[in-house]
Amino acid sequence: MPLQKKRIILASRSESRKNALKLLGLKFAVIPSQLDEESFGERNPEKRALKLAQLKAKDVASRVKNAVVIACDLIVVFKGKIYEKPKSRKEAYEMLKTFSGQRVDIVAGLAVIDSESGRMFSRLKRCKVQFKKLSSKEIKDYIKRYPVLNFSGAFDGSAVLMFAKHIDGDALFYTGIPLSELTSILKKLKVM
């Protein structure tokens, strides 16, 4: 287990992200960002993911002392369109049906900030998921079992493991955090 010299704060309620930090052996607290993501107008996926992660990290860092704040934003892009969190199970079904048999881009922004010094590190990761052809039953079963309204594009790492035919790039979806980049940043900040 790594030695921690500062408190670590995860700026997210995401169970996948909590599990990722536990996987690294980190002790942390959860303080979700209060950022209104829907009012953020940037439509370029890379800029949006990175900027939202940075804004979430700054929001939480402004409310805590002597801590390292970790924030992420994950964006699903298909044919140039950003797919946000669905507003209903019907919309989630339509999204997953759209992705069936298609190649979908996933963009992840990561921001880590030391609330004491204000020093921030940001990283951007991108990968592509080739979905297999999905049956209506597979989609409906997934929607029944998982909180799809919490996920951009209506899917998380579990769905990628179940629905992916092929992944190009880092399979970061399983955790919602690019772990190798996070580990590197935490070492630079002397938290690990």
Q: Would strands 29-30 and 67-78 be described as parallel, antiparallel, or unpaired?
A: unpaired
Token representation of residue 9: 């704060």
Neighbours of 48 (CB within 10 A): 20
Question: Catalytic site residue 73?
Answer: yes
From the list 34, 12, 16, 172, the residue with the least C-alpha distance to 183 is 172
Q: Contact, 152 vs 85, CB < 8 A?
A: yes
Beta partners for residue 129, in sequence order? 104, 167
Which burial class, exposed, middle or buried, applies to 162 when counting CB atoms under 10 A from its CB (0-12, 13-18, 19+)? middle
**DSSP-derived pairing of the beta strands 103-114 and 67-78:** antiparallel
Q: How many whole angstroms separate alpha carbon 125 and alpha carbon 109?
A: 7
**Among 73, 105, 114, 156, the one annotated catalytic:** 73
Give the catalytic positions in this structure.
73
